[in-house]
Amino acid sequence: MASKTTKHYILTGLFSILPIAATYWIVVKLFHFFSAPGSTIVEIIFSDEVPPYIPEFAGFILTILFIYIIGILVSNVLGRQVYIWMEDMLLKVPN
C-alpha cells in the first residue's frame, strides 16, 4: 500500500476549503449588493440621524431574506421535480 504524498494532502485540503470559501465569497457579494438598497430603505423610514450600523444591519437582513426565499423556491421547484421523477420511475416497475 503506497503512502499518501504531500501533494495528495494539499489537494485534499484545497478541495475541502473550496466550498467554504465559495460560500463565503457569495454571501459577502450578496451583502454588498443588498447594503445599498438597505441603506436607502433605512433613510426613507428614519429621516433623522441614523446610527452607522443600522444600514449594514438592513443589508444583512435583506441578504438573509434573499437566501431564505431562494431556498424556498429551489426546494419547492426542485423538490417537486425530484418527486415526479421518482414517481415515474416507480410507475415503470412491473407488478
Give 54-93 as a DSSP string.
HHHHHHHHHHHHHHHHHHHHHHHHHHHHHHHHHHHHHHTS
Say how far apart CA 79 and CA 72 lie, in whole Å: 10
pTM of the model: 0.63
Backbone torsion region of residue 24, taken as left when φ is above 0, otherwise alpha when ψ lies between -120 and 50, otherwise beta: alpha
Q: What is the pLDDT of residues 21-69, one digit of tens each?
A: 999 999 999 888 888 887 778 877 877 777 778 878 888 898 999 989 8
Q: How many residues does the chain have?
A: 95
Between 37 and 19, where is the model more confident? Answer: 19
